[in-house]
Amino acid sequence: MKKIIVLTLSALSSFLVACSGVSHQSDAVNKETIAPFPAAKSGEVRSVIYLPQLKDEQNAKVELIIGKDMLVDCNIHRLSGQIKQEDLKGWGYSYYVVENVGSGISTMMACPSDEQNKMAFVTMNNDIGLIRYNSKLPIVVYTPSNVQVKYRVWSAQTPLKAAIIDK
């Protein structure tokens, strides 16, 4: 039992040290930082996002944008599917799983006859909202192999304003 506890603490210590030393400028996955996360299942890929350290990380959030490149017409297109937040048991971290990705929906407007179909990044609704910005831990997302993970960082730039009190 003591050996298991020591091994677990050692792995956690290595993981936290690795997280603090991650080179955020690289496109390579740091295997030590994602070691506790499960491997991707057959037909899935594991995408990893490393965020650079910010001065005021509490003022930033991350938006996951899940989609794929598709040939589309002039209509508005959207993929169907869900993003679920899962807990990494025993670690207290989260990861995200994209499930049931389908061809989705589109508006059904008639397109002008001279307009050509074009390639576009078609996205799905993000059910989880904005994610807390944390440069110390990677954001890990599991998707079907034909789906891409992109992200956007949102940051509060304006000063806080007080609400009017209703008396």
Distance CA 119, CA 167 (A): 54
Among the listed residues 44, 123, 39, 124, the one whose alpha carbon sits nearest the alpha carbon of residue 82? 124
Q: What is the mean pLDDT of residues 132-151?
A: 96
**Which of 16-20, 41-45, 115-119, 153-157 has the weakest average pLDDT?**
16-20
Q: What is the mean pLDDT of residues 114-118?
A: 89
Among the listed residues 121, 119, 130, the one whose alpha carbon sits nearest the alpha carbon of residue 153? 130
In single-letter form, the type of residue at position 8 comes to: T
The pLDDT of residue 105 is above 80: yes
Residue 13 DSSP SS3: helix
Residue 123 DSSP SS3: strand
CATH code reported for the domain at 37-155: 2.60.40.550
Q: What is the mean pLDDT of residues 129-140?
A: 95
Distance CA 34, CA 50 (A): 11
Q: How is residue 13 written in tokens?
A: 């210590």
